[in-house]
Chain A
Amino acid sequence: MPTVTRREFLKVGAAGAGALAASGLGFDVALAESNRVKQKLRIEGAKELHSICPYCAVGCSLVAYTRTNSDGTTQLLQIEGDPDSPVNEGRLCPKGATAMQLAVSPRRVESPMYRPAGATAWQKISWDDMLDKIANNIKASRDATFVATDGNGNTVNRTEGIAFAGGAAFSSEEGYFATKLMRGLGLVHLEQQARV
């Protein structure tokens, strides 16, 4: 029996029954069956987008299928391995295969939370208030710990009392942007996942 790749199978499905009407009876029946199955696929008519697995650094390509519901919300229908990728050729490990449960999760933090010093519970806070508080903290700590000239008289212009760490799940462009902004604020304590 010749092997049919997933890609070829889908192509046959997409060609439609009419184009193959001249085929033998058996094949027509098989094709009709495959078309019937295809009609029922969850991804029928869905939008096909491309992503990359968020876990390890193999860099498996993902195909994500979404549908826009009548209320305007976007629904994620399916995530699977991208068969075109020279890295994974459609394959995924258990983590990649369950990426949908990370993408859409009832455990997400959906609004800003604030815990003042000594408090025993989270408090809700508006984005605006939270970002103002953080900006004020950064300015106060920067001004309190900024060293313009070191003990040897060298110009060093560094902020010693603020650290930034993170980014292994950033898009690269976000990572670059974070570096630029943090260095712009004078930070020297800058770190991500590479060492740990």
Chain B
Amino acid sequence: MVSLAATFGRGAMTNHWRDIKNSDLILINGANPAEAHPVGFQWFMRAKLDRGAKMIHADPRFTRTSALADMYLRIRTGSDVAYFGGLINHVLQNNLFHDAYVRNYTNASFIVKDGFTFKDGLFSGYDPAKRSYNIASWSYETDPATGFAMRDKTLQHPRSVFQLMKAHYSRYTPEMVSSITGIPAADFNKVAELVGQMGKPDKVMTIVYAVGLTHHTTGGQLIRSGAVLQLLLGNMGRPGGGMNAERGHANIQGNTDHAISWEILPGYLKIPAPGQKTIADYVAASAPKKSDKNSWNFFGTNYSKFMVSTLKAWYGAAAKKDNEFAFNFVPKPAGNASWMTIYDQALKGKMEGLILSGMTAASIGPDSNQVRQALNNLKWLVVMDSLPTTSSEFWHAPGVDRGSIKTEVFMVPTTHWIEKDGSFVNSGRWSQWKDQVLPPQGQARHDHWILADIFQRVKKLYQAQGGKFPEPIMALTFDYKDPLKPELDEIAKEINGKDLSTGKQMTSFALLKDDGTTTTGDWIYTGSYLDTGNLMKRRQGVQDVKANDPTGMGFFPNWAWSWPLNRRVMYNRASADLDGKPWDPTRPGITWNGSKWVGDVPDYPATMDPHDPAAWLPFIMNGEGVGRLFSNSMVDGPFPEHYEPIESPVQNPLHPANSASPVAFLYDKAAGRPNRFGTPSEFPYIATSYRLTEHEHYVTQHVPHLVQLQPKPFVEIPDELAREKGIKSGDQVRVSSKRGKVEVLALVTKRLGAMTVAGQKVYQIGIPIHWGYVGLSADSDPSHGRYWMANALTPFVGDANARTPEFKAFLVNLEKM
């Protein structure tokens, strides 16, 4: 998501599930939608069956997605930058890019400052002691008169983004791609041939991915490499196109939007940093800057309005103009405070308490054994859940001396999704309201009621006893009929926001102000709940396709509500040419009809004439106004580059001296803990983890039918390797890494196979993640699932941008037991 925001301006799936039916070519990387998102996969099949679309699946494992694809490529896990980089090279060397789109809708023509370099795997500005880059040289040359970036629309300037990019990817020849990925060059060339046709204006390709791209120390750049390819082919903003992230949980999207995430406030506003004293300081440091005269810079221009309106929603009357709208109430983190950092801080003895809600640290890991040690270092742990988890039960897990665990543990029984109303936001940003179907089971209570109650008790303690800086606790708004039992309907209204002078619900975030007269809980949801009602409840779907999908493109504008402003395809100004005509008239996103834009809800001013010389550029969220082929919003490089996983059996063929990411965050090393990485001599096999159709993470260990369908943990072992080791399907095997082990059943398969990488023969082993010491399977096993956790194996390292763990590529050994 970091990489999508760094490229296009917003961090979310750009299109939506049903839209995939509009594609001509579907590239699937780091995903297995036929098994992991089977119902969404029907739209892939509709594209294939109804329009003759081709589907290409690149994955370490041959899955049911591969079986339905036109081409399957066995790719080494974590090497997708080389795959996309090779495709970028093919498109650039053969002039197959969408010329008008690239010149006008991307930053290809922008001139980069003199001094930017890339050599031996390092971009300019690298500091080896800090393992980080000073990114000052990763910026545009500016016109001193205007401060805007210099451009060369001929794309010939040697320091234009276009020429720098062409040089950067010239190293990604089919042979180099093959050496890194293990895909035979002939197969790669066939893909390149198909992809190369997608730069024609009337062709559209989509790239679909999931955590198979994200969960690497290069995860951000793996995704960005696909995003760059999509910009070059002119496939962004268009029906049937886009960069489409398939999220794995029902409401990850909604709760990312609403910022249960250390680095943001609702609506992807940055969390303020130490040193910022005023809203102006904050906006200057956080908001995108206008760098072209035709850039609207919508986000940057309105940043302070969104921030002040949120502060008004949170702190009410205490947020006043003369106190910077209570800006000092917002906590300012010292540095990264993400998932792994929580446990790292606990290991250092600096974390006292942890509240987990619907999320189990012990199973998720990475490095589950180390995470369990971190839980043991807490003073207290609150688990809010409907069912027992490996975290609520960690203190009496098999093999644990339960009396020795010092942590105080609370199991707080909460209601299920079906026992409360509220919205779920799917991957495609559709916010769909659900009913409360059942009353709470037993004494279970709603999560928000529990949190409200705890908060009010804390507030009373501060009122009675005093304590550290109680002002924000006292001021936090609780404008609910019953402060202990807020209704989700009331909160949905608060999220939308209102005009304090009229009391009316805001209809658009464009009307928010920074003078304290408007509120919003999350500006990207403004427009979802009007005075006329809650638009997320709308249900005009396929019961009448003709009436409810008037454009035929699958937008269904009156089914639920989609952020922003019910727009179904983001950046849709780029679906039309400079005159406002769709690139492909059979697949219009929006069209200029002479007086206004029609079709989808425009991601653009509704009546802005494209022929006006002052008309805004299409990517309104970026300071440049265009999509970013070169981006200084990534801390590990402005162009995606292939780096090896932290644990890899080979050296990087591009630059062996800087084989793995030079800026990946090595938690153990930074904390002074011993190195916990394995070498290929001890741990010769590549392992990757994944999910099965019948389970979702860990909660389904409590669902009898699903446990019957997939009863026991196993690892998938390539047939040839199994024969070498004398392992048969059903044998008990031990898979170990430098950090831990699993002891499970072997499943010998031809779905995995030997590959040649950097001239070396390598094997990949597949490990489903779903088992542990809690659930029906564990209850029925003599070992009680003691060595069943896949994440006991995974390394405690993070991507430099997002600190995403490297769940998908690490080294193991394999033994028959």
Q: Which A residues form the contact surface with B (CB < 8 A)?
A: 7, 49-61, 64, 66, 74, 76, 81, 83-89, 91-96, 98-99, 101-105, 107-120, 122, 127, 130-139, 141-148, 150, 152, 154-196
* Also in contact, A139 and B358, with CB within 8 A (given A145-B352, A172-B424): no
A194 touches B256 (CB 8 A): yes
Output the nearest chain B residue to A177 by Cβ-Cβ distance: B448
For window 585-628 of B, CB contacts with A under 8 Å fall at none
* A65–chain B nearest beta-carbon distance, Å: 9
A196: which B residues are within 8 A, CB to CB?
215, 339, 364, 366, 804-805, 807
Residue in A120, A171, A190 whose Cβ sees the most chain B Cβ within 10 Å? A171
* Also in contact, A177 and B358, with CB within 8 A (given A51-B434, A172-B425, A189-B345): no
Q: Which of B328, B412, B709 contacts A94 (CB 8 A)?
A: B709
Cα A94 to Cα B442 in complex, Å, equals 27
Rank and list the top 7 A-B pairs by shortest CB-CB distance, nearest first: A171-B422, A110-B442, A59-B426, A166-B357, A172-B254, A135-B457, A168-B249
Residue in B350, B366, B406, B408 whose Cβ sees the most chain A Cβ within 10 Å? B408
B426: which A residues are within 8 A, CB to CB?
52, 57-59, 87
A179: which B residues are within 8 A, CB to CB?
258-260, 265-266
Q: List 10 A-B contacts (CB under 8 A).
A: A56-B248, A110-B443, A117-B406, A157-B469, A164-B354, A165-B354, A172-B255, A173-B491, A183-B331, A194-B256
Residue in A61, A85, A144, A176 whose Cβ sees the most chain B Cβ within 10 Å? A176
The 0/1 profile, CB within 8 Å of A marked 1, for residues 396-414 of chain B is 1000001111111111110
Cα A162 to Cα B458 in complex, Å, equals 14
* Also in contact, A168 and B255, with CB within 8 A (given A111-B413, A192-B260): yes
A116: which B residues are within 8 A, CB to CB?
408
Residue in A110, A137, A185, A186 whose Cβ sees the most chain B Cβ within 10 Å? A137
Output the nearest chain A residue to B474 by Cβ-Cβ distance: A184
B265: which A residues are within 8 A, CB to CB?
179, 183
Cα A154 to Cα B803 in complex, Å, equals 26
B403 touches A167 (CB 8 A): no
* A175–chain B nearest beta-carbon distance, Å: 4
A109 touches B261 (CB 8 A): no
Q: Which of B328, B356, B437, B486 contacts A64 (CB 8 A)?
A: B437
Cα A145 to Cα B352 in complex, Å, equals 9
* A173–chain B nearest beta-carbon distance, Å: 4
B338: which A residues are within 8 A, CB to CB?
191, 195
A174 touches B488 (CB 8 A): yes
The 0/1 profile, CB within 8 Å of A marked 1, for residues 287-309 of chain B is 00000000000000000000000
Residue in B255, B261, B803 whose Cβ sees the most chain A Cβ within 10 Å? B255
* Also in contact, A136 and B450, with CB within 8 A (given A166-B384, A191-B339): no
A169 touches B408 (CB 8 A): no
B435 within 8 A of A: yes
B105: which A residues are within 8 A, CB to CB?
none
B357: which A residues are within 8 A, CB to CB?
164-167, 170, 178
Output the nearest chain B residue to A75 by Cβ-Cβ distance: B438
B432 touches A93 (CB 8 A): no
B261 touches A190 (CB 8 A): yes
B805: which A residues are within 8 A, CB to CB?
195-196
B418 touches A64 (CB 8 A): yes
Residue in B345, B379, B426, B458 whose Cβ sees the most chain A Cβ within 10 Å? B458
A141 touches B352 (CB 8 A): yes
A57 touches B694 (CB 8 A): no
Cα A54 to Cα B410 in complex, Å, equals 24
B334: which A residues are within 8 A, CB to CB?
147, 150, 156, 158, 160, 188
B695: which A residues are within 8 A, CB to CB?
95
A141 touches B353 (CB 8 A): yes
Cα A113 to Cα B342 in complex, Å, equals 24
A61 touches B361 (CB 8 A): no
B700: which A residues are within 8 A, CB to CB?
55, 95, 102
* B25–chain A nearest beta-carbon distance, Å: 22
Cα A134 to Cα B40 in complex, Å, equals 41
B817: which A residues are within 8 A, CB to CB?
none
Cα A129 to Cα B476 in complex, Å, equals 25
Q: Which of A127, A148, A177 contacts B452 (CB 8 A)?
A: A177
B1: which A residues are within 8 A, CB to CB?
194
B437 touches A51 (CB 8 A): yes
Cα A195 to Cα B263 in complex, Å, equals 12
A59 touches B427 (CB 8 A): yes
Q: Which of A52, A64, A170 contacts B255 (CB 8 A)?
A: A170
A133 touches B314 (CB 8 A): no
* B36–chain A nearest beta-carbon distance, Å: 7
B117 within 8 A of A: no
B428 touches A59 (CB 8 A): yes
Output the nearest chain B residue to A161 by Cβ-Cβ distance: B352
B468: which A residues are within 8 A, CB to CB?
142-143, 146, 148
Cα A87 to Cα B453 in complex, Å, equals 37
A175 touches B443 (CB 8 A): no
A101: which B residues are within 8 A, CB to CB?
703-706
Binds A, one of B128-136, B155-163, B539-547, B760-768: B539-547
A177 touches B331 (CB 8 A): no
Q: Which of B277, B410, B457 contacts A112 (CB 8 A)?
A: B410
A112: which B residues are within 8 A, CB to CB?
410-413, 443
A130 touches B355 (CB 8 A): no
Cα A145 to Cα B379 in complex, Å, equals 13
Cα A189 to Cα B275 in complex, Å, equals 19
B379 touches A141 (CB 8 A): yes
A177 touches B802 (CB 8 A): no
Cα A74 to Cα B419 in complex, Å, equals 11
B665 within 8 A of A: no
Output the nearest chain B residue to A54 by Cβ-Cβ distance: B417
A109 touches B333 (CB 8 A): no
B458 touches A108 (CB 8 A): no
* A67–chain B nearest beta-carbon distance, Å: 11
* Also in contact, A174 and B447, with CB within 8 A (given A152-B275, A163-B355): yes
A165 touches B491 (CB 8 A): no
* Also in contact, A132 and B539, with CB within 8 A (given A58-B37, A144-B352): no
A175 touches B355 (CB 8 A): no
Cα A168 to Cα B36 in complex, Å, equals 17
* B395–chain A nearest beta-carbon distance, Å: 6
Cα A130 to Cα B366 in complex, Å, equals 30
* B639–chain A nearest beta-carbon distance, Å: 24
